[in-house]
Amino acid sequence: MKLNLPPTVAIARRVYFSVGRHAPLQSWPPRLRLPHGYDCVLTAYYEGAVAAHNGMVANISDIKPALALAVAPLDCAMLTGADTVLPNPPSGENIVEFLWQRLPAHIEGGRLDRLVLELSPRLRVEKTPTSMRITRKYEFAAAHRLCSPELTDDENLALYGKCANLAGHGHNYGLEVTVEGAPGAAGFIMAPDRLDEIVEAEVFTRFDHKHLNEDCPEFENLIPTSENFARVIFAVLREKLTGDGHRLAKIGLHETQKNYFEVEG
């Protein structure tokens, strides 16, 4: 059988390491100036054509030692002080940049395409050859009822099922906010506390523990499906997260463990 196979594949390898840091910089949030540590997860993606003679882009066994060598100066190290290997403040963005420079640009037929550093369950940094992004995760709760004003109660029930129950229902939403840009002098694309303040003001204050149909004017003429909810969240955050060398790149909304909605712009 002859198939029209795509020519390239991205392969990934993951490595785990731990770092400590603190930064005696006034530009850093007070809590980050104190010594603290992270159990980090780094995933490196190499993309390239699949070789006909062995069916591989690159041998994973060759990527494994390259990753180990890259993270070795950081593992179990304090990234602040006279002995630090980082030339810049030890932000996640600068750690990713340091690791990008230490990894081979090519391994066999694969080109280094992406690095993803997870500093915690709530924070990750992603770098490609042309961009860098940070993603922070949040949680909040809200209720809604799915119904169209143009339909009867029976028609809404037929369309939306139990989500059209008259009393409504609620979700514990997971929200991912991704900001793209270049790190500033402090090492951040955007100061994490400032990002938290904006999400608090623009998302939590508007929607947390609210009934979207009854309490939120954003849905006065908009059915509060999670598709529309994701669009609204992106719209209210976009203006506040655009400028000073960064922009809102994406939001992801987890309605349940099974349902996820994403808006990218």
Express each pLDDT in 210-249 by its tens digit: 999 999 999 999 999 999 999 999 999 999 999 889 999 9
Strands 246-254 and 77-78: unpaired
One-letter amino acid identity for 38? Y
Letter string b/e over residues 200-230, b meaning 16 or more CB atoms within 10 A of that residue's CB: eebbbebbeebbbbeebebbeeebbbbebbb
Cβ-contact 252, 226 below 8 angstroms: no
* Catalytic entry in 47, 108, 163, 171: 163
Say what the pLDDT of residue 28 is.
82
Q: Is 169 a residue of the active site?
A: no
How far is it, in rounded angstroms, from Cα 259 to Cα 187?
Answer: 34
- pTM, entire model: 0.92
Cβ-contact 177, 138 below 8 angstroms: yes
CA of 123: how far to CAs of 11, 101, 137, 149, 241, in Å? 23, 22, 7, 40, 17
Please report, to the nearest 10 degrees, the dihedral formed by the alpha carbons of residues 26, 32, 34, 35 taken in order. Answer: -130
1-130 and 134-265: identical CATH topology? yes
Q: Is 209 a residue of the active site?
A: yes
Q: Which of 157, 97, 174 is nearest to 129 (CA)?
A: 97
| Alpha-helix runs per DSSP H in 48-141 | 60-71, 92-102
* Catalytic entry in 209, 214, 262, 264: 209
Locate the domains of the chain by residue range.
1-130, 134-265
Strands 77-78 and 106-107: unpaired
Share of the chain above pLDDT 70, in %: 99
Average pLDDT of the residues in 15-39: 86
Q: What is the pLDDT of residues 166-214, one digit of tens each?
A: 989 999 999 999 999 999 999 999 988 999 999 999 999 999 999 999 9
For the cut 90, the answer to whether the pLDDT of residue 22 exceeds it is no
Which residues are registered as beta bridge partners of 110?
107
Q: What is the pLDDT of residues 128-167, one digit of tens each?
A: 999 999 999 999 999 999 999 999 999 999 999 999 999 8
Q: What is the pLDDT of residues 68-115, one digit of tens each?
A: 999 999 999 998 876 688 888 899 999 999 999 999 999 999 999 999
Q: Is 255 a residue of the active site?
A: yes
Q: Which CATH architecture has domain 134-265?
A: 2-Layer Sandwich (3.30)
Cβ-contact 251, 233 below 8 angstroms: yes
| Alpha-helix runs per DSSP H in 84-139 | 92-102
For helices 60-71 and 92-102, what crossing angle results, to 10°? 130
Average pLDDT of the residues in 19-40: 85
Say what the pLDDT of residue 82 is.
66
* Catalytic entry in 97, 126, 218, 255: 255
Q: Which CATH architecture has domain 1-130?
A: 2-Layer Sandwich (3.30)
CA of 33: how far to CAs of 26, 82, 91, in Å? 8, 16, 11
